[in-house]
């Protein structure tokens, strides 16, 4: 495994100061590659290329992961559903990526058991009650995972299933299939990939919007960037430009050539979050979506339960989509039917989030039937655009785009030697927390939370906490998060404002019923102090 090119005890700072320095360099240096988009796709491309030794700039118009990449179902999975569409290659690649991420960032790819309850009545079983067909699908899923499988599927008796999910409807329940996939924290995965890219020398900036391009006979010669923090605009020069802007990619392609592009068909998916006590499932459970021929995941996540998702064409503003009341009602109803003893109502919903899938338009297929495979377009303007794909396949997608970038650079530079992709061996977040770490008397909830959230950088957060009593204190009484995390986010993760910390670095805005408003003042104070101390 390749560690980041700095030592464990002194991770590179990635602060508002670093950002200002990066912006200065972006305006003055010439880059091999400019990557537009700080979601998982752009983050992966920046890491792949920087770790091959290329000079890379990454630009994100809002905060890193503020687009689709913080709004997914948080699964690193093969996608059992894609087997029905005969997407065997996509499933096999995804399962392989699941195995790679389990090695490079174990705390961001944690095995989780999924129950598929089987009822005598077809409409109560999420994937139909055909036990044979399902068993064959799960057998194939295990087969495609190969020797690196994280656990084989099995049949679970009715009693055992009701132990794992006590509030699941027992009426007509025959038992359940159990299979394994992995759970992540999507926004933190993006942040860790970006931090690692930065450690390999990529210059990264959030709140830096690409507004336009300059063209030369050779293609695109420069990008026009608006620094949304500093309030100035500047030009960034790069040999190759990658457009990794997800649902915005048509818009960015249009900036490069003045044409209207219609490659992307955004599809909205929402999730709801409820307290874990409501449904009490210890494993993830698949349930039917009320009145639809599809299923929902009920996923235990950070001490809460996340339920979703939907899949519907979307034509409103791409910025900050939200869940509508009828979408929330449908999910609540579906969960209330599947878990009747929970008596779940909309009053139980702690929070919701909505994301837009950057699906590639393929005529009139229903959105759920459109392939989740990515596509790469080498545009006439010179832009290399990557769209579609999944969170799970970020590393392999990045490798494929990077190969095209490398080929282009080599064509221009007499086949200059450029390293092959290293990313399957690069540890994210410094790997696992070290065993000997002193826990400084924190309670076990906080210790577990910090280890699961920060992986090998757990000790760095503890070091920050030692700086003052305020940093050791919990931010909200019933959550394990501590003040040090706000400072850590500002010092090492380029969090620029309170929302960056609450929504994407700590996820408090998702799992707290008050969306973290009760601690927003403290977070702001800690960040101000940190940002002014330089």
Site for ligand FAD, rule CB under 6 A: 36-42, 59-62, 66-69, 71-75, 209-210, 244-248, 252, 269, 309, 355-358, 389-392
Taking the complex as a whole, the smallest distance from the CB of residue 313 to ligand FAD amounts, in Å, to 13
Task: Identify the bridge partners of residue 265 per DSSP, sorted by sequence position.
Answer: 359
In the complex with ligand FAD, the residue whose CB is nearer, 11 or 389, is 389
Taking the complex as a whole, the smallest distance from the CB of residue 297 to ligand FAD amounts, in Å, to 8
Taking the complex as a whole, the smallest distance from the CB of residue 195 to ligand FAD amounts, in Å, to 16
- Per the CB < 8 A criterion, the answer to whether 433 and 452 are in contact is no
Taking the complex as a whole, the smallest distance from the CB of residue 206 to ligand FAD amounts, in Å, to 9
In the complex with ligand FAD, the residue whose CB is nearer, 72 or 453, is 72
Taking the complex as a whole, the smallest distance from the CB of residue 355 to ligand FAD amounts, in Å, to 3
- Distance of alpha carbon 363 from alpha carbon 263, whole angstroms: 10
- Distance of alpha carbon 235 from alpha carbon 150, whole angstroms: 47
| Residues in Cβ contact with 332 at an 8 Å cutoff, skipping those fewer than 6 apart | 272, 344, 345, 346, 348, 349
Sign of CA dihedral 20, 26, 31, 33: positive
Taking the complex as a whole, the smallest distance from the CB of residue 374 to ligand FAD amounts, in Å, to 8
Taking the complex as a whole, the smallest distance from the CB of residue 78 to ligand FAD amounts, in Å, to 10
In the complex with ligand FAD, the residue whose CB is nearer, 39 or 137, is 39
- Distance of alpha carbon 441 from alpha carbon 461, whole angstroms: 14
| The token pair that represents 140 in the structure block | 């194939």
- Distance of alpha carbon 220 from alpha carbon 240, whole angstroms: 8
In the complex with ligand FAD, the residue whose CB is nearer, 183 or 338, is 183
In the block, residue with structure tokens 């695109």: 220
In the complex with ligand FAD, the residue whose CB is nearer, 39 or 219, is 39
In the complex with ligand FAD, the residue whose CB is nearer, 73 or 430, is 73
In the block, residue with structure tokens 């919990």: 474
In the complex with ligand FAD, the residue whose CB is nearer, 99 or 391, is 391
| The token pair that represents 277 in the structure block | 């006590």
In the complex with ligand FAD, the residue whose CB is nearer, 62 or 499, is 62
> What single DSSP character describes residue 138?
H
- Distance of alpha carbon 337 from alpha carbon 528, whole angstroms: 47
Taking the complex as a whole, the smallest distance from the CB of residue 69 to ligand FAD amounts, in Å, to 3
- Nearest residue to ligand FAD, scored by beta-carbon proximity: 39
Cβ density class 104-128: b for 16+ within 10 Å, e for less: bbbbbbeebbbbbbbbeeeebbbbe
């Amino acid at each position: 495994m390749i560690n980041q090119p700095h030592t464990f005890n002194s991770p590179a700072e990635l602060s508002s100061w670093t950002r200002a320095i990066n912006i200065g360099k972006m305006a003055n240096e010439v880059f091999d590659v400019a990557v537009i988009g700080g979601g998982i796709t752009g983050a992966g491309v920046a890491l792949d290329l920087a770790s091959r030794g290329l000079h890379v700039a990454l630009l994100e118009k809002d905060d890193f992961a503020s687009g689709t990449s913080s709004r997914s179902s948080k699964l690193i999975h093969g996608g059992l559903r894609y087997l029905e569409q005969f997407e065997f290659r996509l499933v096999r690649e995804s399962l392989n990526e699941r195995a790679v991420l389990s090695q490079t960032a174990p705390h961001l790819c944690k095995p989780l058991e999924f129950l598929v309850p089987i009822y005598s009545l077809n409409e109560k079983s999420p994937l139909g009650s055909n036990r044979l067909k399902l068993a064959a699908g799960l057998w194939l899923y295990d087969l495609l995972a190969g020797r690196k499988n994280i656990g084989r599927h099995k049949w679970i008796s009715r009693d055992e299933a009701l132990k794992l999910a006590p509030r699941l409807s027992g009426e007509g329940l025959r038992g359940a299939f159990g299979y394994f996939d992995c759970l992540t924290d999507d926004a933190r995965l993006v942040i860790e990939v970006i931090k690692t890219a930065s450690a390999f020398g990529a210059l990264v900036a959030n709140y830096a919007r690409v507004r336009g391009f300059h063209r030369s006979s050779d293609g695109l010669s420069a990008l026009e960037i608006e620094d949304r923090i500093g309030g100035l605009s500047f030009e960034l020069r790069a040999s190759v430009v990658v457009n990794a802007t997800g649902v915005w990619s048509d818009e960015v392609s249009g900036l490069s050539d003045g044409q209207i592009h219609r490659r992307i068909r955004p599809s909205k998916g929402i999730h709801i979050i409820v307290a874990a006590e409501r449904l009490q499932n210890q494993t993830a459970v698949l349930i039917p979506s009320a009145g639809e021929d599809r299923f929902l995941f009920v996923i235990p996540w950070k001490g809460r339960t996340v339920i979703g998702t939907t899949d519907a064409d979307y034509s409103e503003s791409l910025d900050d989509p939200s869940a509508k009341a009828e979408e929330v009602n449908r999910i609540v109803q579906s969960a209330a039917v599947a878990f009747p003893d929970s008596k779940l109502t909309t009053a139980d919903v702690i929070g919701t989030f909505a994301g837009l899938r950057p699906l590639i338009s393929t005529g009139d297929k229903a959105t759920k039937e459109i392939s989740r495979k990515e596509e790469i377009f080498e545009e006439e303007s010179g832009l290399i655009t990557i769209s579609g794909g999944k969170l799970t396949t970020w590393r392999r997608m990045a490798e494929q785009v990077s190969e095209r970038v490398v080929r282009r650079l080599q064509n221009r530079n007499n086949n200059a030697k450029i390293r092959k992709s290293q990313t399957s061996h690069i540890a994210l977040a410094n790997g696992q927390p070290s065993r000997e770490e002193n826990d400084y008397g924190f309670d076990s909830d906080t210790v577990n939370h910090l280890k699961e959230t920060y992986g090998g950088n757990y000790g760095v957060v503890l070091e920050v906490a030692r700086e003052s009593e305020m940093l050791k204190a919990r931010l909200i009484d019933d959550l394990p998060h501590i003040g040090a995390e706000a400072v850590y986010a500002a010092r090492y993760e380029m969090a620029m404002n309170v929302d960056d910390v609450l929504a994407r670095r700590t996820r408090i805005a998702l799992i707290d019923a008050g969306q973290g408003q009760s601690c927003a003042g403290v977070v702001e104070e800690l960040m101000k102090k940190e940002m002014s101390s330089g």
